[in-house]
Amino acid sequence: MHDLVIRNARVLDGTGAAPVYADVAVAGGRIAAIGRALGEARETVEAEGLALMPGIVDNHTHYDAQITWDPWCTPSPALGVTTAVIGNCGFAIAPCRASDRERVMRNLTQVEGMSLEVLAAGIRWEFETIPDYLDMLARRGVGINVACFAGHSSIRTFAMGEAATERAATDEEIARMRAIVREALAAGAVGFSTSTSPAHNGEGGRPMPSRLAEEREIAALVGELGAARRGVFMLTKGGHTRLEFLERLAAESGRPVVVAALLHNSTNPGIVFEELDAIAAARARGRRMAGAVSCCPLSFDFTLRSPYPVEGLEAWRPALGLSGEALKARLADPAFRRAVREELARPARFRLFNGEWDKVQVVETRLPQHAAFEQRTIAELAHAAGKDPLDFWLDLALAEDLETVFVALTLNSDEEAVGRILRHPASLVSLSDAGAHLTFFNDAGFGLHLLGHWVRERQVLSLPEAVRRLTSEPARLFGIRDRGRLAPGFAADLLLFDPATVGRGPKRRVRDLPAGGARLVTPALGVHGVWVNGVRVAGPEGCTPPGRLPGRVLREFDA
């Protein structure tokens, strides 16, 4: 007898093939059969023509801290995600000595928009090394399947201490880092991740440790993947990092290289296509490379106390790390404003915020006399006031003790261009950033957005192709075994949904983090069931955790 049979489903197997109407039987956490008249089961679900696909593989998350107190990695399961890759951009929390915990947490508050109070109350520090961390997750259990990168910034801090944010590494320090990467791969890490992005700053505006790495250091650490003949190299690329260098690493190591974050910039619209074309050309030369792209418009809710969209500006650096009256004085300084204005006026190859004031909106004001500003753009308000937009923005925030809430639509705002990106053969649908930037945005429902907006509403992709992009494609690239497809013998990671209504709902703020911390969440639309290794974990009512944790810490990967 089977454990579960889902009857009369429109089965999308994850390969891109046309759907077939069939029953799917599950036994022992795996797909036992697909067809008709599959026999009896302890549980039967009548799909009545709903679509059944493999669970979404979210290949770019930051659940490294959250998973230590929330093994379900909420809200991802309710949004159809059954496998998450954590530790992206090099921002893991292992390895970490007890003496470095405060530094690691404070860096995360800046680079990943996390609350120090939440991190301090929530993180379970039951590890020091990467093998310790993986063992802890396996021992405590996980709600969804998890694969873990060895993160460069954490490795650099472990090997170099405070010098990790100050200088290049010596040969001896690189050797220490290589040993850590080697140990991590042997213990089951999915690969090595790093960042050279100027937007990635830690406490006080210091660059995250990986940004201080020279190319020889990065090449040496990626070389460990080649020596082990396993693992993916993932990089969030700064404008100065050359794709030629990354192709060389792919060629020398023989390992897949994922290049993030390739997003459309309306003020420099051709760059993302140039980079995707370059990656496609490298693929034609036999390199395993992919450009990580997002199917979501990138928007941030923020205040001037922590304005992530502009913190990557060089001219904003004097304000980083300041608070209270010192921060207010800096924001009021005419010289500071002039420098920011001049930088925004210069074209840049990649920049998160580009002075598009018509895409910055006032969400919530503190003072009654400013209530009429809500839901209006800074460009509109500044024009009405006869002021420069930057001055209006800063003056409004200062008048409200920096408590005004804004939303900025920074990148991927041109839907025609994003559609072209999604159809590009070198693109990898990615970049949910789930687990990070909790008060700024929530794209954990990226997969449902792809299925609803880009398939049903925009018809940019067919439904079978979109399912492939969310499942078998990332599973194959990352070497994730027996997942990403619906076929006998594969893990029963399943998503049952209605193509006519699937999507993500409006964002809302909840306070369900440790120490009462707040975050933005988006509900699932059109989801009728999610199963991890054959165990139902979510339905139309949202996440419905069973009595046990059905996920796996993934530690064996295909070459």
- Structural element, H or E, at residue 176: helix 171-187
pLDDT computed for residue 53 by the predictor: 99
11 contact partners, CB below 8 Å, separation of at least 6 = 19, 20, 21, 22, 24, 34, 52, 53, 486
pLDDT band at 110 (very low <50, low <70, confident <90, very high): confident
pLDDT band at 130 (very low <50, low <70, confident <90, very high): very high
Does residue 489 surpass a pLDDT of 90? yes
Per-residue DSSP letters for 390-449? HHHHHHHHHHTTT--EEEEEEE---HHHHHHHHH-TTEEE----BTSSTTT---TTHHHH
User: CA nearest 370: which of 332, 390, 394, 397?
Assistant: 397
85, 89, 93, 95: CA torsion to nearest 10: 100
Q: If DSSP codes are grouped into helix, strand and coil, which group holds residue 158?
A: helix
CA–CA distance, 150 with 87 (Å, rounded to integer):
7
Joined together, the tokens standing for residue 459 give 């018809």
pLDDT computed for residue 438 by the predictor: 79
DSSP 132: H
Does residue 547 surpass a pLDDT of 90? no
Beta strand 145-151 with 191-195 is parallel
Q: What is the mean pLDDT of residues 370-397?
A: 97
pLDDT band at 485 (very low <50, low <70, confident <90, very high): very high
pLDDT tens-place string over residues 201-220: 888 788 999 999 999 999 99
Q: What is the mean pLDDT of residues 82-107?
A: 96
Which range, of 44-58, 59-73, 540-554, averages the lowest pLDDT? 540-554
CA–CA distance, 432 with 423 (Å, rounded to integer):
18
pTM: 0.94
Does residue 353 surpass a pLDDT of 80? yes
Backbone angles phi, psi at 147, to 5 degrees: -115, 140
Contact 292, 430 (CB under 8 A): yes
Q: What is the pLDDT of the chain when averaged over all its residues?
A: 96
Does residue 226 surpass a pLDDT of 90? yes
pLDDT band at 350 (very low <50, low <70, confident <90, very high): confident
CA distances from 167 to 158, 164, 195, 209 (A): 14, 6, 16, 9
Domains contained in the chain, CATH given: 54-297+412-543 (3.20.20.140), 300-409 (no CATH)
Q: What is the mean pLDDT of residues 476-505?
A: 98
Residue 509 corresponds to which amino acid?
R
Angle at the Cα of 16 (from 533 to 286), degrees rounded to 5? 100
Angle at the Cα of 297 (from 292 to 299), degrees rounded to 5? 110
CA–CA distance, 487 with 151 (Å, rounded to integer):
33
pLDDT tens-place string over residues 48-62: 999 999 999 999 999
Q: What is the mean pLDDT of residues 528-542?
A: 94
Per-residue DSSP letters for 184-233? HHHHT--EEEEE--TT-B-GGGPBPGGGG--HHHHHHHHHHHHHHT--EE
Contact 474, 145 (CB under 8 A): no
pLDDT computed for residue 312 by the predictor: 87
pLDDT tens-place string over residues 254-285: 999 999 999 999 989 999 999 999 999 999 99
CB atoms within 10 A of CB 143: 26
> How many percent of the chain have pLDDT more than 90?
89
pLDDT tens-place string over residues 155-197: 999 999 999 999 999 999 999 999 999 999 999 999 999 999 9
Q: Is the peptide bond before 256 cis (omega within 30 degrees of 0)?
A: no
CA–CA distance, 523 with 510 (Å, rounded to integer):
12
pLDDT computed for residue 441 by the predictor: 80
Does residue 244 surpass a pLDDT of 80? yes
CA distances from 358 to 25, 90, 271, 506 (A): 52, 33, 22, 21
Does residue 549 surpass a pLDDT of 80? yes
pLDDT tens-place string over residues 411-452: 999 999 999 999 999 999 999 999 998 777 889 999 999 999
SS (H, E, C) 266-302: CCCCCHHHHHHHHHHHHHHCCCCEEEEECCCCEEEEE
- The distance in angstroms from the start CA to the end CA of the chain is 35
Q: What is the mean pLDDT of residues 4-32?
A: 98
